[in-house]
Amino acid sequence: MNKPTKRSLKMRFQTKINHGDHTDSYEFTTRGELFHKGNQDYLRFQETLSETESVQTTMKWDGRELMLIRQGSVLMRQGFIVGEETLGRYVTPDASWETTAITDKLLVQWPSGKSRGRIQLTYKFALQGQDTGTHQVRLTLEEDTINE
């Protein structure tokens, strides 16, 4: 059985949410790891929400669907497939909501050699049937050669 090869990455995560005439932006940089298991690629990183709350985020890519899995003070599972509506779930300590995403754009390019990788995702998102706007997510991925 092949052991998955892990690659350390530096990454920049940017989110822009357009809802009517209002736009929210969120950005952070972190380190993560990229590995291949079976016929899927996994990107895993830690997201800090506050001084006491963090979330382990995993993005699983099979060539067609990008699955977002968040575990920690927030639990979330949401798939993204271009042109399709996908169901998911968002859970906090206080409540659990059904989510839906309609994906307009999905691009996944892993870093290779000296070239950077990127993930671009644009989708319309609803929480318990309520429209939360159009979300644009950009991840810039770069091999982290410091740890090797």
Helix/strand/coil (H/E/C) assignment for every residue in 21-38: CEEEEEEEEEEEEEEEEC
Residue 107 placed within a domain? yes
Residue 134 placed within a domain? yes
Residue 84 placed within a domain? yes
**Token pair recorded at residue 49:** 């929400």
CB 66 within 8 A of CB 60: yes
Domain containing 51 equals 6-147
Residue 1 placed within a domain? no
pLDDT of residue 50: 79
CB 141 within 8 A of CB 30: no
Q: The domain spanning residue 49 has which CATH number? A: 2.40.128.20
Residue 116 placed within a domain? yes
Distance of CA 33 to the CA centre of its chain: 13
Residue 96 placed within a domain? yes
Amino acid type, 142: E
Strand (E) or helix (H) holding 61: strand 54-61
Number of domains in the chain: 1
Question: What are the pLDDT tens digits along the chain (148 aa)?
Answer: 455 578 999 999 999 999 989 999 999 999 999 999 989 999 999 988 778 888 999 999 999 999 999 999 889 999 999 999 999 999 999 999 999 999 999 999 998 877 899 999 999 999 999 999 999 999 999 988 764 4
Provide the phi-psi class of 26: left if phi over 0, else alpha when psi is between -120 and 50, else beta.
Answer: beta
Residue 28 placed within a domain? yes
Residue 26 placed within a domain? yes
